[in-house]
Copies of this chain bind each other. A is one copy, B any other.
């Protein structure tokens, strides 16, 4: 292994560690919240926990095709939890269904991540053309992980408000 590979390995490990930590923390909050608590708003008039559960599942579902050959698994969730905002009177899947979808997507994303070799992380993700990528080399697979880690953390800060302890 040369120095360059070893450097890349450290960086990839570092980024994936941050992703896995954020994911575990969010997963722990969802596990801790009862189905009833999921229906609570994070603050008066703001998104409910269940909306954030659906939202994160839908956003992570979209990571599957970005990281390599693979398809979105629950495309219908994107419309409900990303395109549309939270609306307590809208019909959405029940907590047990969404909890299961969340786990399925977590597993599929993990499988996709494992397929990417160290030297492939700086290659373009699948939604960017070769021409665009020459101009913007940061639109690579590793940046997808960094960006989604930041997004996860944004919502973790909100989900923490549903927990009984002050955060």
Contact = CB atoms under 8 A, between A and B. Distances in A.
A74 to B, nearest CB: 23
Most chain B beta-carbon neighbours within 10 Å: one of A7, A42, A150: A150
A16 to B, nearest CB: 10
A143 B14 contact: yes
Contacts of A150: 18, 22, 149-150, 153
B122 A161 contact: no
A10 B138 contact: yes
Interface of A: 3-4, 7-8, 10-11, 13-15, 17-18, 22, 42-47, 85-86, 122, 137-138, 140, 142-143, 146-147, 149-151, 153-158, 160-161, 166-167
Contacts of A137: 10
Nearest to A158: B157
27 contacts: A4-B4, A7-B7, A7-B8, A7-B122, A10-B122, A11-B122, A13-B138, A14-B138, A14-B140, A14-B143, A14-B146, A18-B143, A18-B146, A18-B147, A18-B150, A22-B150, A42-B43, A43-B43, A45-B166, A47-B166, A47-B167, A85-B166, A146-B149, A151-B153, A154-B156, A156-B157, A158-B158
Task: State the copy count for this chain.
Answer: 2
Nearest to A119: B7
